Amino acid sequence: MLDRLTFPQPYLSLLLFIVWQFLSNGVSGASIVMGLILAWLIPQITRGFWPERRAFVNAWKLPGYIGIVLLDIVVASVSVAKLILGGREPKSIFVSYPLELEHPLAIAILASTISLTPGTVSADVSDDNKLLLIHALDADNADEVISSIRERYERRLKEMFQ
């Protein structure tokens, strides 16, 4: 009974509380009370869905990673815009990317990053979490795609999830 009163996912609770303050147009007494109730209630309701493994050993590296991803989005958008407006047929390729990450959350973040940066979309993860299927819009060969993703994103994520 006592563990029903705790916050089983402290980071999730903090995030929910902050998002509720943003949504309610300015911090007030009512929004703080409601935010606390939601931050307690939602993790309690959904606790069965959350995996037990601890994530984010080096969470302080996350802002730098987000900055790199945003920069890449802008740079890659321009090249994809050139390709779309250029009239040339794109040379598409499906790549099977061998994953070095093991944590499910790390794989989810990597797949989201790949989909967000224009030019590549992650299409599927194999059942044993070893391979990621990537569709690249315009690439010369598979090794180029694999090495650029490994250098830029996966290495940094590995440092975060030791």
Partner 1 sequence: MSTIAEYAIVILLLTGGFFTLVGAIGLARLPDFYSRLHGPTKATTVGIGSIVMASVVFFSTRGEGIGISEVLIVVFLFITAPVSANIMAKAAMHMGIDPAKGTRGHPWDQ
Maximal C-alpha separation, the chain: 65
60 Cβ contact partners less than 8 Å away, ≥ 6 residues apart: none
Interface with partner 1, residue 93, by CB under 8 A: yes
Within 10 angstroms of residue 133's Cβ, the number of other Cβ atoms is 15
C-beta separation of 7 from 13 below 8 A: yes
Residues numbered 118-157 forming contacts with partner 1, rule: CB under 8 A = 118-119, 121-124, 126-127, 133, 135, 137, 142
Within 10 angstroms of residue 123's Cβ, the number of other Cβ atoms is 14
β-partners of residue 133 are 96, 124
For residues 16 to 35, the per-residue mask of contacts with partner 1, x marking binding by CB under 8 A and - elsewhere, is ---x--xx-xx---------
Binding partner 1 by CB under 8 A: which of 16, 95, 106, 157?
A: 95
Token pair of 77 as six digits? 């958008």
- Cβ proximity to partner 1: between 114 and 160 the closer is 114
For residues 57 to 76, the per-residue mask of contacts with partner 1, x marking binding by CB under 8 A and - elsewhere, is ----------------xx--
| Binding stretches for partner 1 (CB under 8 A) | 19, 22-23, 25-26, 73-74, 77, 80-81, 84-85, 89-96, 111-116, 118-119, 121-124, 126-127, 133, 135, 137, 142
